Amino acid sequence: MIFLPRAVAGHIADAAEAAYPDECCGLLVGRAEASGDRLVTRVAASPNVAKKNHRKNFAVDDKVHFNLMRELRNGPESIVGHYHSHPDHGAAPSERDRRSVFYPDHVWVIVAVDGGRAGDMTAHLFDAGRGRFREIPLRVTG
């Protein structure tokens, strides 16, 4: 399960609407618990630096990623995943997403945006053994 504070979920939804019709993206910061749960405490927004078609692709800026890794080094928190939006598509991972998995232990939070309005928000983990994503429960807290 992933626990997402209401303010963080709101930030992701706002970013998705602001980026529409393009995809938004960013990193999730928090803690991975021994139980397998992820507790998100905040996000680090990133410009979408995909080399082509930001409406169907996203890439987190390496500078944002590495600066955040340095900031979190030796601390209690780490990067536990990332988020992105699916403009005019559902909140399920796409084939393009499946081909883009670099950190199989990271949570993928996806928010659907229909006509500029954020809707469903889901969380997924990649099952490397099966080569596909599986949806995990997402609980908005607070």
Burial of 55 (0-12, 13-18, 19+ CB in 10 A): middle
Residue closest to 82 by CA, chosen among 67, 71, 97: 97
pLDDT digits (tens, 9 = 90+) for 90-108: 999 998 888 888 888 899 9
Count of other CB atoms within 10 angstroms of residue 125 = 19
Looking at residue 50, its pLDDT comes to: 95
- Domain residue limits, the chain: 2-141
Contact between 89 and 120 (Cβ < 8 Å) = no
DSSP label at 88?
Answer: T
Per-residue pLDDT 10s for the chain (142 aa) are 999 999 999 999 999 999 999 999 999 999 999 998 999 999 999 999 999 999 999 999 999 999 999 999 999 999 999 999 999 999 999 988 888 888 888 999 999 999 999 999 999 999 988 889 999 999 999 9
Stretch (H or E) spanning 11: helix 6-19
124-128 LR contacts (CB < 8 Å, sep 24+): 124/92, 124/93, 126/98, 126/101, 128/101, 128/104
Q: State the pTM of this model.
A: 0.95
pLDDT digits (tens, 9 = 90+) for 49-62: 999 999 999 999 99
Residue closest to 90 by CA, chosen among 64, 65, 111: 111
Looking at residue 89, its pLDDT comes to: 94
Question: Regarding the domain delimited by 2-141, which CATH topology (the fold level of the hierarchy) does it fall under?
Answer: Cytidine Deaminase; domain 2 (3.40.140)
Looking at residue 128, its pLDDT comes to: 87
Longest dimension (CA), the chain: 42
Looking at residue 100, its pLDDT comes to: 86
